Amino acid sequence: MAMSDGEDKSEKLLRVEKIGGKGRSLVAAESLRAGQVILRETPLLLYSAFPFLSSSAPSPYCEHCFRLLPQSAHKCQSCSLVSFCRPNCLASHTPWLCESLSWIHQSSSSAFSDQPCQRQVQARFLLSAYNLAASSPSDFQTLLSLQGNVNHTDSDAANFLHSLLSAVCPPFPVPFSPELTAALLAKGKANAFGLMEPFSASNEKKPIRLRAYGIYHKTSIFNHDCLPNALSRFDYIDSASDGNNDIIIRTIYDVPQGREVCLSYLPLNMTYLSRRKRLLEDYGNKCD
The pLDDT, as a whole number, for residue 64 is: 93
Are residues 238 and 146 part of one domain? no
Decide if 236 is inside a domain.
Answer: yes
The pLDDT, as a whole number, for residue 263 is: 93
Are residues 184 and 63 part of one domain? yes
The pLDDT, as a whole number, for residue 3 is: 47
Residues of the chain with pLDDT under 70: 1-10, 54-56, 171-173, 199-208, 234-235
The pLDDT, as a whole number, for residue 135 is: 86
The pLDDT, as a whole number, for residue 81 is: 87
Decide if 213 is inside a domain.
Answer: no
The domain containing residue 103 runs over which residues? 45-192
* Domain CATH number, residue 226: 2.170.270.10
Are residues 143 and 78 part of one domain? yes
How many domains does the structure of the chain reveal?
2
Are residues 187 and 54 part of one domain? yes
Residue 31 CB contacts under 8 Å (≥ 6 apart), including other chains: 254, 255, 256, 257
The pLDDT, as a whole number, for residue 168 is: 83
Decide if 207 is inside a domain.
Answer: no
The pLDDT, as a whole number, for residue 197 is: 80
Are residues 276 and 177 part of one domain? no
Let me know how many helices (H) and strands (E) the chain has, helices first: 8, 12
Residue 229 CB contacts under 8 Å (≥ 6 apart), including other chains: 251, 252, 253, 255, 259, 261, 262
Burial 47-73, CB ≥16 within 10 A → b, else e: bbbbbbeeeeeebebbbbbbbebeeeb
- pLDDT, one tens digit per residue, over 242-270 is 888 999 999 999 999 999 999 998 888 88
